[in-house]
Chains A and B, each alone.
Chain A
Amino acid sequence: MTTVAPTIETEPASADSNWLAWLDRWCERVGDAINPILVKETRQSLKSRQFVVTFSMILFAALAWTIAGSLSLMPQIYTTPSAPRMMIGYYAVLALPMMMVVPLAAYRSLESEIDDGTLELLSITTLSPWQIVMGKLASASLQMLLYFVTLFPCLAYAYSLRGVDLPTTLLVVASLAVTGLLLTVIGLFFAPLARGRSGRVATMLVLIFLLVLAEYGISSMVVGMILYGNPLSPPELLFTVLATLALAAALGHLLLTATAAQLTPETENRSTSLRLSLLVLTTICVATMVAGLLVLGNRAIPVYIGGLVVIAGLWTFCGALMVGERSTITPRIRRELPSSFLARLFLTWLTPGPTTGLVFAITGITILASMQYASMDWVMRAADVSGAMRRQFQRVVGLPAVLFSAYLICFLVAVRAVMFVVRLRNNPRVEVGVAALVVVAVMAALVPYSMQLHYNDYQPLTYDPIWQVTNWVFTMGTAVDRGLPAGVTERIVGAAVCLSLLSCFAAWQTTRPRRIATPRRVQEELRRR
């Protein structure tokens, strides 16, 4: 009797199962490649009550508006273009989650990581602070995408009712997406700022205020565009879209870098990327403002002046932070210092430290002021503007800009001196530094205000004194407009030039710290990663 070994019948793998296995492997590989925070947050979000409630409410609101809106438009809906009304309704349904819920959820997500102590567990993994922040942003973007996809059929339905063209519809969606993303970035930026219970409440309130303000402003613009059509010609529209995208990307990058820097230990280099990001943002700002003058003509002048005020404020704030940095250069940073003579000459100003920060700020302000002055002159020559008109524009915009730049340099030197004194004590409390900065800022605002009053025989001011006192650009603009006595501008610019030269001379020593070698074992480890 022979025994036959049992054989296991195996079915040949079908084409379907092969395909599914391949898809499964591919999905797993993609899952491994993407940011772990995105995977975790997605899993969490899809199970969270907040997502379920928001998603259900969107669905319900969209359905309700589809029925109610369509019924209210009956019977004209068959004969007349009815898209604007329906589109506004869908926009309102979509704007709330994208511009309020998602940014707030992103803020809460990062803030609760800090509050619950899970950020500490995360920060001892191999994830970098930048990956953590980007993971949160990616997760918020995914939520937005989901909400948008949910409402896409409704938008398509509204478009089919005629009355809103395709470019306008695309603009509506794009403005919603860009604003939503930027507000999410702002929400993330605010999260690490919150310290303590009262700090968290204050930060949350400020953020909510900003979100409401943004929603109101953007929604007004979008609703106007839907109702009255797009007022821009195709080249103007293209410029506006490109400029908005460039500015939003640059601002978003700066805020994300600042958020990641807040999560980075102080031994690491947190300054270089911030300085570069700031420089890129302001360069894009100036380029956009100049291009705006070329494309939009006189209509861009208010935007141009507004842009100047924003740049001035940004450099005042960021410059004060740069010159208030610690003067310590840790061995970790010294490993990355520029090593060649030329690199040391040109790139030292990007390395952390108050002295390098001051020189960087002075250089940046000078370059930006020169760029602005030269480009404006070039634009007016290209537009064949008359000499009198050019002189008028230079007097109204150019001179205050130069004056402000000079004054800002003096202000930063004063901040540097104050912070030097504050830091003489090894561990000054943060509050002491902030109080010192506030005193300097108030003094710096009072000086041009006093000068303005003095040169105008203490005449009462014609506009809000609070706004004037706190805004140097405005004060200086008004002072120039009313006519400063001869020599005042020259004296301020001269003082700035002297202080700049002194700062550069004093900063020469900062080029002395030499790069140190990275230990071979560390290099090997880093190569292996």
Chain B
Amino acid sequence: MNDIQQDSGGQDSGTEGTAAMQPDAPIASTATAGDTASDQTAPPGDASESRREPTVGVHSDPSDCIELRRLHRFFGDTRAVNDVTFSVGRGQVFGYIGPNGAGKTTSMRILATLDLPSYGDAFVDGFSVVNDPELVRKRLGFMPDSFGTYRDVNCREYLDFFARAYGLVGRQRTRRLQWVLDFTGTSGMATKPIRGLSKGMKQRLCLGRALVHDPAVMILDEPAAGLDPRARIELRRMIRELADRGKTILISSHILTELAEMCDAVGIIEQGQLLATGSVDQIQSDTQNRSELTLRILNRHDEILTCLSGLDENLTIDNPILDGQFVRFGFSGNMTDQAAIVTHFVTQGFHVAEVNAHKKSLEDLFLQVTEGLVQ
């Protein structure tokens, strides 16, 4: 007389007897989220949601390799991660940015199965970090921001140990070790003790350790912290190469210019909350539509600011700065409005020699999105 309730904790759409996948169901109502939380408490204000019937915990989109679903992590009264939801597609590089203490490392540690959410769940390749951590670990390579090493162990022995710990045997292990040593450029120091390595070499070794079992997903927490420019460039090359090999990468860094070059999408987190997510362009279009323009005008310099004030009020020109032949100002509008501004100057008899529209960098975007909340 077996009595097995179907589902409520499963995360596979193919589960026999489970309810059909409900991609439109409110994500807060998943059993995996509510029931698996370490303290089993719904976040304040979510009591009604937590009582709802569970749905099957599976990706809403099977192409997503990483998914955070209403993730919360509380430390006493501190909300380190507060209702964070996003997903990363297979083969994408996702930049996770935010000021110190924003909750990046906590979310990454939860994804790496090193910590448990207070509420919500996270999935790697469809497997819950709460319910099936051992299956997640097989698919995941994690490079923490700081990591310990062993005494009296050289680089090869270190990697060999982790290869064994991931269950690699025989020639498979030997081949993999050699590949990792070659890829990370540590072949030359395979027999050197780890304790004597430089910071950059240790970072390479740590990346090698995370790669040793050929995971599909990599989580890199501040991999470039403390590295010199050359080492950073090398690391960037390696990460890009890994992405080209089809690995899904979640990376956090404070060096936003580097992330902008590497990432297909970014998520901006502050005070535990995800403020924006998507590609840089997407975030830019989602956030306030402000642009900056610099014009080089060859004549009538003393009349330029007067001319600017004569523009359509809807464009809300701000912070005009006149510097010799150059005038720089911000305005709210799109490319058509930009063309209208230039046309306005030309029709007024100004000789416009150059037009420079400034595309916002990730740093600008970060400051804009986190404005008012930083500090």
Which residues of chain A have a CB within 8 Å of any CB of chain B?
28-29, 32, 36-37, 39-40, 43-44, 47-48, 113, 116-118, 120-127, 265-267, 328, 330-332, 334-335, 339-341, 344, 426-427, 514-522, 525-526
Is there contact, CB below 8 Å, between A514 and B9? no
- Tell me which of B84-92, B129-137, B344-352 binds A: B129-137
- Tell me which of B34-42, B248-256, B320-328 binds A: B34-42
Contacts of B32 on A, CB cut-off 8 Å?
331
Measured in the bound complex, the distance between the Cα atoms of B56 and A331 in whole Å is 12
Contacts of B112 on A, CB cut-off 8 Å?
124
Majority secondary structure of chain B interface residues (helix, strand, loop or mixed): loop
Give the contacts of B144-167 with A (CB-CB under 8 A).
144, 146-153, 157, 161-162, 164-167
Interface size band for B: 35 or more
Is there contact, CB below 8 Å, between B131 and A39? no
- Tell me which of B10-18, B180-188, B300-308 binds A: B10-18
Residue from the list A43, A118, A331 in contact with B131, Cβ < 8 A: A331
Measured in the bound complex, the distance between the Cα atoms of B144 and A122 in whole Å is 13
Q: Which residue of A lies closest to B137 (CB)?
A: A124
Contacts of B35 on A, CB cut-off 8 Å?
328, 330-331
Majority secondary structure of chain A interface residues (helix, strand, loop or mixed): helix
Residue from the list A122, A124, A517 in contact with B10, Cβ < 8 A: A517
Is there contact, CB below 8 Å, between A522 and B74? no
Q: Which residue of B lies closest to A29 (CB)?
A: B170
Is there contact, CB below 8 Å, between A515 and B137? no
Beyond A426-B41, A522-B132, whether A117 also contacts B3 by CB under 8 A is no
Contacts of A522 on B, CB cut-off 8 Å?
10-12, 127, 131-132, 135
Give the contacts of B334-366 with A (CB-CB under 8 A).
none
Measured in the bound complex, the distance between the Cα atoms of B113 and A522 in whole Å is 17
Is there contact, CB below 8 Å, between A40 and B150? yes
Q: Which residue of B lies closest to A522 (CB)?
A: B132
Pick the 5 closest A-B CB pairs, nearest first: A331-B9, A116-B148, A519-B10, A36-B164, A519-B12
Q: Output the least CB separation between A432 and chain B (Å).
A: 12
Measured in the bound complex, the distance between the Cα atoms of B147 and A113 in whole Å is 11
Contacts of B17 on A, CB cut-off 8 Å?
517
**Interface assignment of B2: CB less than 8 Å from any CB of chain A:** yes
**Interface assignment of B8: CB less than 8 Å from any CB of chain A:** yes
Measured in the bound complex, the distance between the Cα atoms of B4 and A48 in whole Å is 53
Beyond A330-B35, A426-B39, A426-B41, whether A125 also contacts B137 by CB under 8 A is yes
Is there contact, CB below 8 Å, between A515 and B130? no
**Interface assignment of B282: CB less than 8 Å from any CB of chain A:** no
Contacts of B197 on A, CB cut-off 8 Å?
none
Measured in the bound complex, the distance between the Cα atoms of B38 and A328 in whole Å is 9
Beyond A44-B151, A124-B137, A521-B126, whether A516 also contacts B165 by CB under 8 A is no
Beyond A516-B9, A519-B11, whether A121 also contacts B162 by CB under 8 A is yes
